[in-house]
Amino acid sequence: MDFMALEPSLYTVKAVLILDNDGNRLLSKYYDPQLYPSIKEQRNFEKNVFNKSHKADNEIAFLEGMTIVYKSSIDVFFYVVGSTQENELMLMMVLNCLFESLSQILRKNVEKRFLLDNMDGVFLVVDEIIDGGVILESDPQQVVQKVNYRMEEGPLSEQSVAQVLQSAKDQIKWSILK
């Protein structure tokens, strides 16, 4: 028996997927490089997940040795994937945080068109919640606050080189001080 597999780990999330109502990828982040190393394997997994979940009324599925929690909104499906021994409540907490954060940022318009128009914010939300498979934040208010702060800083093209360098220095300083 492999006791290492039973030990708790901070790396709870294996992947986050956002698919449209045809099962096409809008966003996918895989945090376990051994899970599905090629794009082809990832697309096959996403197709299987979508086929199993898009007509179901459940919020949880078990597929290919993974625990998958999911939610849909209009024409978008959100998935959080973990291993089979992962706590479904933890995965559901991440899913709810992702959905609520995006709902606030998109002003309740959680649908494909608005998601695609605000993809930079979507990536920021995912990155604020999960880093390398580790859950960083589960409070949608905190996520929205951090993402709005970053989005207000503006894109790099609107900042001078000095502002970008100062921002990078500040981020490094704060990451070291934490």
Q: 145-172: per-residue pLDDT in tens?
A: 888 766 565 554 455 666 667 777 777 7
pLDDT single digits (tens) 8-51? 667 789 999 999 999 999 999 999 888 899 999 999 999 999 99
Helix, strand, or coil here: 101? Answer: helix
* Stated pTM of the model: 0.78
Return the residue matching tokens 């609520």: 100
Residues sharing a CB contact under 8 Å with residue 102, sequence separation 6 or more, in sequence order? 110, 115, 121, 122, 125
Give the integer Cα–Cα distance in Å for 27 and 135: 18
Q: Could you list the beta-strand ranges (E) of the chain.
A: 15-20, 25-30, 60-63, 66-73, 76-83, 130-131, 134-135
Domain ranges of the chain: 10-153
Burial of residue 169 (number of CB atoms within 10 Å: 0-12, 13-18, 19+): exposed
Phi, psi dihedral angles at 18 (to 5 degrees): -130, 120
Give the domain 10-153 fold: Beta-Lactamase (3.30.450)
